[in-house]
Amino acid sequence: MAHLHDLTKNQTLVLDALTKWDGPASAYSLLDQLRAQGFRAPLQVYRALDKLIEYGLVHRLESLNSFVACAHPHDHAHGLVAFAICDTCGQVDEFSDETVERRLKGWAKEHSFRLAKTTIEMRGICANCTAQ
């Protein structure tokens, strides 16, 4: 696992932009944001994101085609992560559940499925927006 000081300039810029972003950001949103810092092409963003995801510092939200900074970047031990995404305000809640992880890994083992990555995304309306 790489540490913060191992990040390249582009990776740092992308991670900073994403960390400051309120909610999930698309690669192109990040690109627009980073033009002021000299970014010109989507690939610059995608390459940085790939590495950041590999390092566990960023998550990809498949159902949104967007990205979020990991909420627990120092908790290197976190296994499976799940997301609750509010369709109204866009806020994302990241959490883990031991039981869910155990069950899914159990299924994989039973079926001899060599598990590489698991995506869990819940879509709905958060408490805050429901209260509005």
Contacting range for a second copy; rule: CB under 8 A; set: 2-10, 25-33, 46-54, 82-90? 82-90
Query: Taking CB under 7 A as the rule, does residue 40 contact DNA?
Result: yes
Among residues 17, 38, 95, 132, which is the contact residue for a second copy, using CB under 8 A? 95
DSSP state letter for 16: H
Contacting range for a second copy; rule: CB under 8 A; set: 1-9, 31-39, 66-74, 107-115? 107-115
**Are 18 and 30 contacting, i.e. CB atoms less than 8 angstroms apart?**
yes
**Are 79 and 117 contacting, i.e. CB atoms less than 8 angstroms apart?**
no
Among residues 53, 71, 89, 108, which is the contact residue for a second copy, using CB under 8 A? 108
Q: Which two tokens stand for residue 63?
A: 């159902």
Query: Taking CB under 7 A as the rule, does residue 48 contact DNA?
Result: yes
Residue 44's binding partner out of DNA, a second copy, none, with CB under 5 to 8 Å set by partner kind: DNA
Residue 29's binding partner out of DNA, a second copy, none, with CB under 5 to 8 Å set by partner kind: DNA
Query: Taking CB under 7 A as the rule, does residue 38 contact DNA?
Result: yes
Adjacent-strand bridge partners of 111:
none
Burial call 29-52: b when 16+ CB within 10 Å, e when fewer:
bbbebbeeeebeeeebbeebbebb
Please, is 94 exposed, middle or buried when counting C-beta atoms within 10 Å of its C-beta (0-12, 13-18, 19+)?
middle
Interface residues with a second copy (CB under 8 A)?
A: 62-63, 82, 84, 86-87, 93, 95, 97, 99-100, 103-104, 107-108, 111-127, 130
